[in-house]
């Protein structure tokens, strides 16, 4: 099932705002290609906070398998894709 571009754009915008807020970097430019490993402030504690904020803002809950996937993902685009699928389900 293809996810509409408008959904992906909305999820990216919201996720980017969450990341900027948690990393406390208001001017951070975030795209789908942004790599978690390239952001020094995106440590394991920030990862937990970002996941919790995504669940809250999108009113979703990640399964244990999805949490494991999220922890293996490095690009913001991968996170956006997973969230988009969950919000479209």
Map out the domains of the chain as residue ranges.
5-24+38-88
pLDDT in tens, 34-84: 999 999 999 999 999 999 999 999 999 999 999 999 999 999 999 999 999
pTM exceeds 0.85, yes or no: yes
Domain 5-24+38-88 has CATH 1.10.1200: yes
Confidence (pLDDT) at 1: 65
Three-state DSSP string of the chain: CCCCHHHHHHHHHHHHHHHHHHHCCCCCCCCCCCEHHHCCCCCHHHHHHHHHHHHHHHCCCCCHHHHHHHHHCCEHHHHHHHHHHHHHC
Confidence (pLDDT) at 2: 85
């Amino acid at each position: 099932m293809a996810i509409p571009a408008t959904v992906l754009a909305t999820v990216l915008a919201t996720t980017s705002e969450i990341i900027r807020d948690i990393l406390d970097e208001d001017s951070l430019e975030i795209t789908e290609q942004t790599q978690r490993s390239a952001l020094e402030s995106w440590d394991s504690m920030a990862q937990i906070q970002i996941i919790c904020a995504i669940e809250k803002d999108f009113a979703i809950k990640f399964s244990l398998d999805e949490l494991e996937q999220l922890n293996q993902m490095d690009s913001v685009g991968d996170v956006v894709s997973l969230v988009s699928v969950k919000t479209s389900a």
